[in-house]
């Protein structure tokens, strides 16, 4: 009886301990240091375990923009770079204050613009990107290019005109392009397209005049297109170009005249056919009055001009001074040579040279010549010991083609 009673007490105590341990496990109570570090401690055999998925960190995209935000005085040649240093790059837009976009490209994981920017202009950079956390972001940055002391200006001459076969492409700057390296940069950027295609070359007549001439005279009917994307080009100390330009012109008939200074006659041809032979009187002998020999180009036309020799270095009071009204003027040089009407020298025309350097025609012949000529027509002068210097007019034809190519700043 006693043994049986004790046995039941032991079993009852064991059951009580088991119940307490089970209750402790259900409530998450710590099971103590030793039990917690014993293999299998606290794990019910056959039970499944689970591990929670890690949550993404809240890491936004980080975008780097060069030039820096609010940068001022940025060189037009500095370019633009946009890079996502954290996350991935989305859309990039760069616009000036007028809303004109800058076209860049993606390379090496970054957006680049390596062209030239407009001087004195504010630009806004807008960037979308996606961070490692998957969230989209928008970054805006601004910068301003330098404002030069001088804005270089230029023009493409003969735009929209029909010209003679001798008229070169002419890009003329209002002030010198200071160095050969700067002229070379201009020359690399400009281009000429001709239809039909013709061989030609760029050269500098001086440090303001860049010209492209064909190897020989233009073919009549040629269309010429000139492009000058020169925005952001430096042409001198603190002097920069702020615009692009382009223009086209067409080439008319081949009107070529030859003036023989010794025989006092001018022969006018068109398309190789003689149109008229005209008596003339050219410049009388003398260092300031003799007409220059060489191949000249008609620069322009003016129905009436008051010619004053003081403008070409012969002042009032000099024995050779003159001031006179003339009609039907075709300008051949910047130094005062014209073909024009000269009723006062009709008796000398065809027999004697009496002018101050111009080519004198009778009123009727001068009016006919004026009506049938256009800028770009060729007028060759032979028989004088005084040479026509290329910079005295449109002097590209004073060079051989090889000589003209040597006028390039790229050589």
Which residues belong to the active site? 340, 358
Query: Can you spell out the DSSP letters for 57-93?
Result: P----EEEEESPTTEEEE-TTS-EEEEEEESEEEEEE
Please check whether residue 382 is in contact with residue 261, taking contact to mean a CB–CB distance below 8 angstroms. Answer: yes
Please check whether residue 267 is in contact with residue 279, taking contact to mean a CB–CB distance below 8 angstroms. Answer: no
The separation between the first and the last C-alpha atoms of the chain, rounded to the nearest angstrom, is 128
CA–CA separation, 61 and 86 (whole Å): 5
Q: Is 61 exposed, middle or buried (0-12, 13-18, 19+ CB in 10 A)?
A: buried
Paired strand residues for 169: 212
Query: Can you spell out the DSSP letters for 194-225?
Result: EES---EEEEESSSSEEEEEESSSPPTT-EEE
Q: Would you put residue 133 in left (φ > 0), alpha (ψ -120 to 50) or beta?
A: alpha
């Amino acid at each position: 009886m006693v043994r049986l009673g004790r046995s039941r007490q032991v079993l009852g105590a064991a059951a009580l301990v088991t119940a307490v341990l089970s209750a402790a496990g259900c409530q998450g109570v710590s099971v103590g240091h030793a039990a917690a570090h014993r293999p299998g401690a606290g794990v019910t055999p056959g039970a499944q375990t689970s591990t929670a998925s890690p949550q993404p960190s809240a890491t936004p995209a980080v975008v780097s923009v060069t030039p820096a935000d609010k940068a001022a005085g940025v060189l037009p040649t500095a370019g633009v770079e946009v890079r996502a240093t954290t996350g991935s790059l989305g859309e990039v837009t760069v616009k000036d204050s007028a809303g004109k976009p800058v076209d860049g490209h993606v390379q090496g994981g970054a957006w680049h613009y390596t062209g030239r920017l407009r001087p004195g202009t504010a630009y806004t950079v807008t960037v979308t990107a996606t961070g490692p956390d998957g969230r989209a972001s928008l970054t805006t940055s601004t910068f301003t290019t330098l404002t030069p002391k001088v804005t270089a200006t230029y023009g493409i001459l003969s735009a929209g005109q029909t010209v003679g076969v001798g008229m070169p492409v002419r890009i003329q700057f209002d002030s010198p392009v200071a160095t050969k390296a700067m002229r070379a940069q201009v020359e690399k950027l400009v281009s000429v397209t001709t239809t039909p295609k013709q061989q030609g070359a760029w050269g500098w007549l001086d440090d303001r005049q860049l010209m492209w001439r064909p190897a020989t005279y233009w073919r009549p009917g040629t269309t010429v297109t000139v492009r000058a994307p020169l925005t952001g080009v430096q042409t001198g100390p603190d002097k920069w170009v702020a615009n692009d330009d382009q223009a086209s012109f067409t080439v008319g008939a081949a009107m070529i005249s030859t003036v023989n200074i010794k025989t006092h006659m001018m022969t006018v041809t068109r398309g190789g056919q003689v149109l008229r032979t005209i008596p003339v009187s050219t410049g009388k002998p003398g260092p300031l009055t003799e007409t220059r020999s060489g191949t000249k180009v008609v620069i322009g036309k003016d129905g009436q001009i008051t010619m004053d020799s003081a403008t070409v270095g012969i002042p009032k009071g000099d024995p050779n001074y003159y001031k006179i009204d003339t009609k039907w003027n075709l300008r051949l040089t910047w130094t005062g040579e014209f073909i024009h009407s000269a009723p006062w020298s009709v008796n000398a025309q065809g027999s004697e040279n009496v002018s101050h350097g111009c080519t004198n025609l009778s009123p009727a012949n001068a009016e006919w010549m004026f009506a049938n000529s256009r800028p770009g027509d060729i007028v060759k002068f032979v028989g004088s010991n005084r040479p026509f210097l290329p910079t005295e007019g449109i002097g590209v034809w004073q060079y051989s083609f090889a000589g003209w190519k040597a006028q390039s700043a790229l050589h």
